[in-house]
Amino acid sequence: MSRPVIIALDFPTATQALAFLDRFPAQLSLTVKVGMELFYAAGPQIVTAIEARGHAVFLDLKLHDIPHTVGAAMQVIGRLGVRYTTVHAAGGAAMLTAAKQGLVAGAAERGLTAPQLLAITQLTSTSQTMLNDEQQIPGTVAASVVHYAKLAQTSGCDGVICSAQEVAAIHAAVGPDFIGITPGIRPLTAATDDQQRVMTPAAAAQAGSNGLVVGRPITQATDPYQAYQQILTEWSASND
């Protein structure tokens, strides 16, 4: 199983995103996340442009709608050649199953490998108070995350997006082969920004994370390539 460090391209325009990628060695193949802001601004063409540079794309749109709509949208995404994409586990089993079927069908139309489908459990900005008072979900954040992970697995997803703090519990519940990709990764010297449940790369590796998503500590660094290498080194050393 590959264990990527995924760079979140949280830029408002394609020009800025591609200029950022040009700051890395041309021969280096990255895995990068295209989220809502960039995709809605630049469209599918940004995925094509990134892939043309030799990089893999994690298309993070967090779909959450009725099963038919999500399945149809995922069929389109399946044609793009991305490596990962996301849905909200809260959408339910029928929606998750439709999403997986759509990805497989779309990829097959182009003779491509279907993207891995990752379900959002709870956002890393979700606090205990938000879970109980605003979402009206009883119990702990960790229990909610494990519940959604089980639902995602039985519905055909390949893994989940979750805090590194919950990876061990997820693997204990559904097995070690179910992917746990973790955002909210910050080096010790970085600010936590608007995320509540954060962890360092080394701690995430020790917790069992299968991949990291890192944004501002790399994209806002004076030397993004050096920042990426430092995180990659810490992550890789802790996975040995």
Residue position matching structure tokens 């639902």? 151
Return the structure tokens found at 10. Answer: 């949280």
Cα within 13 Å of Cα(162), Cβ side:
31
State how far the Cα of 234 lies from the Cα of 132, in Å rounded to an integer: 35
State how far the Cα of 98 lies from the Cα of 152, in Å rounded to an integer: 12
Return the structure tokens found at 169. Answer: 């519990």
State how far the Cα of 184 lies from the Cα of 213, in Å rounded to an integer: 7
Q: Classify residue 187 by burial, with Cβ atoms within 10 Å: 0-12, 13-18, 19+.
A: middle
CA 186 remoteness from chain centre: 15
Q: Is 62 a catalytic residue?
A: yes
Residue tagged active-site, from 33, 62, 100, 150: 62
Q: Which residues, other chains included, contact 178 with Cβ-Cβ below 8 Å and sequence gap of 6+?
A: 149, 153, 158, 159, 160, 170, 171
Return the structure tokens found at 206. Answer: 């020790």
Return the structure tokens found at 181. Answer: 């990709």
CB of 88 closer than 8 Å to CB of 80: no
Known catalytic residues?
A: 62
